[in-house]
Amino acid sequence: MSFDRNLFLPVTMKDMQARGWDGYDFLLITADAYVDHPSFGAAVIGRVLEAEGYRVAVLAQPDWKDPAAFAALGRPRLGVLISGGNIDSMVAHYTAAKKRRSDDAYSPGRRAGLRPDHATVVYANRVREVFGDIPIVIGGLEASLRRFAHYDYWEDKVRRSILFDSQADILSYGMGERSIREIAARLASGTPVGEITDVRGTCVAMKIPADCAYPRVEVPSFEEVSADKKAYARANMVEYQEHDAVVGKAVVQKHGRDWLIVNPPAPPLTTREMDAVAELPYVKEPHPMYDDMGGVPAIEEVRFSVTHNRGCFGACNFCSLAFHQGRTISCRSHESVVREVKALTDHPGFKGYIHDVGGPSATFRRPSCQKQLKCGMCKNRACLAPEPCPNLDADHTDYMMLLRKLRDIPKVKKVFVRSGIRFDYLMKDPSGEFFTDLVQHHISGQLKVAPEHCVAHTLDYMGKPHIEVYEKFREKYQKLNRRYGKEQYLVPYLISSHPGCTLSDAVQLAEWLNRQGHMPEQVQDFYPTPGTLATCMWYTGIDPRTMKPVFVPKTPHDKALQRALMQWRKPQNRKLVLEALHKAGREDLIGYGKHCLVRPDKGAPAAAKPKSEERRGKQTGKSKSAAPCRPSAPSGAKKAGWAKAKPKNAKGRGINKRK
């Protein structure tokens, strides 16, 4: 369906003329197609500036090989804003195996190749070539995660801060509404861009670090972290710890003759401010210029979804959220979310289903504890893993009441929760009432959660709870499904080849999956994205939290062995699984017993007596008295032959079994 292009920010000179503009203030360049939806960062920044009275034009996915493409809308009055898109451009282009992707959901018709590698750098250099000394501000996820000297997985080297490679004047990191308003106001007042150096949530280059406006801490220079992996690990930990809007200091890092100044993070938006940003006049659709190109597929995931929060104190070491949005939670009011859902019911394509009411983690609507509001986040401990902090506030009542209000809106048939749910946080809810509501009303056939692994020390490197917590959660989930007669499955997300995961650990994960009768349809190899603690481990072989060595499965063959073990039933994986079991000294898993992963080669002897349950329990950190694993269904469960969870009064205990 097509929408009036005049409802969008202008994308051509003709659009600007139709508005009677004789010029404009900011050119907003994005590596994604232009989708005017609050899930797209470029759209948010454009609408925030529009609300402040500025004229903003959008240049989406310009042809980076042609300088003229960047001059198509003329020179803006105040400056150029550049975003690499909703995800890092290298992640958009390449798999974890560094293979080129064949499609791009953020481009029209899923067409790949409409953005360059390192899009923010390429775009900024083109703008500098075309417009000379015009103020350039870079932002978005790509810029945010690459604000310090960082390891680049695709080039296998440490790169400078993206601020220097892009030749930009200012880098806005994190959620940029506050910083972009202040930058725009100063530019509009005539302040030279070189004097805008003290905005929180931004990075700038200086000749003398003493000119920094805030208390500061210095980390090893670009040259040091490039040459010394211990220096890299030390720097990464400081950078992570100082990302705190309450107590964080500025972080300075020398790059050659210049200094990178990373000012403290901007304070999170208040509930009132979050409401205002969420309710700006977004069309919530791709621009109609893409109608004949197949539209923009990324809208399908968010068109009938609502984001109600920001930030995540889950602190998974492989996740970039903590380094981008921060660990402090911000949320919208019930009234604002209700207004948005009511508006969605008038959408011509609405069929009665709200696909998600979530965010980084759906159930986070409050600080992890009251202490953090005054003292910031604890630097040397996580809120949830390996065990929840005694001060954790896990009351889910507010989120539960929000969902109940949404269920009562006319025309709404179902409200689903599909964002990540921290099962460990849910299990600490003192009342347990939300869990009951979740099972009864908010699951669309499958609930996806992320235990990630089953071996205790591997989970510690990931920053995840131990597997016993997941098993207790799964048992309660199945009991509730039986109680209410629901046919709903649990799909566990798992990661292979994470730093700290040995081949022996991968074998234990395969055993754990085999005992519960589940083989994942898809496997996610660990992906070293910029800025995360796990990427630091992958590059340096050091855990930056302890500065102790950590094993890293790096070679393609090592990673293939671990991945094959998670899908041991696939015929094409047989040789790899056999090799892995021999290497790990686990020939007891080669044979015909239920505990075995593969049968022996023709003529080869069957497995000897299996390893004891006691040994397996110790390896996974599971006690002998723990309840046995029960199967969870993968995607396409009914088709694959998974039985439903039986009602309480059905014959037998209602445990899921494979047919």
Q: What is the pTM for the complete model shown? A: 0.90
Shared domain check, 485 and 431: no
What's the pLDDT at 614? 45
The angle formed by the CA atoms of residues 578, 580 and 585, to the nearest 5 degrees, is 95
Q: Is residue 290 part of a domain?
A: no
Element (H, E) at 404: helix 397-407
Q: Is residue 573 part of a domain?
A: yes
Shared domain check, 103 and 65: yes
Q: What is the CATH number of the domain that holds 192?
A: 3.40.50.280
Q: How far apart are CA 75 and CA 346, in angstroms?
A: 39
Shared domain check, 552 and 418: no
- Asked if 328 contacts 361 with a C-beta cutoff of 8 angstroms, the reply is no
Shared domain check, 331 and 460: no
Q: Is residue 279 part of a domain?
A: no
Q: Is residue 72 part of a domain?
A: yes
Q: How far apart are CA 566 and CA 74, in angstroms?
A: 54
Shared domain check, 478 and 581: yes
What's the pLDDT at 634? 39
Per DSSP, the three-state class of 41 is helix
Q: What is the CATH number of the domain that holds 617?
A: 3.30.750.200
Shared domain check, 345 and 413: yes
What's the length of the chain?
A: 659
Q: How far apart are CA 26 and CA 176, in angstroms?
A: 15
Residues of the chain with pLDDT under 50: 612-659
**What does the block give as tokens for 611?**
């390893």
Shared domain check, 427 and 485: no
**pLDDT tens sequence across 403-449:** 999 999 999 999 999 988 999 999 999 999 999 999 999 999 999 99
Q: How far apart are CA 274 and CA 270, in angstroms?
A: 6
What total of structural domains would you count in the chain?
3
End-to-end CA distance of the chain, in Å?
A: 43
Closest CA to 203 of 173, 243, 235: 173
Q: Is residue 171 part of a domain?
A: yes
Instruction: Provide the residue range defining the domain that includes 84.
Output: 5-205
Residues 6+ apart with CB under 8 A from 530: 88, 145, 146, 150, 151, 152, 153, 320
Q: What is the CATH number of the domain that holds 317?
A: 3.30.750.210
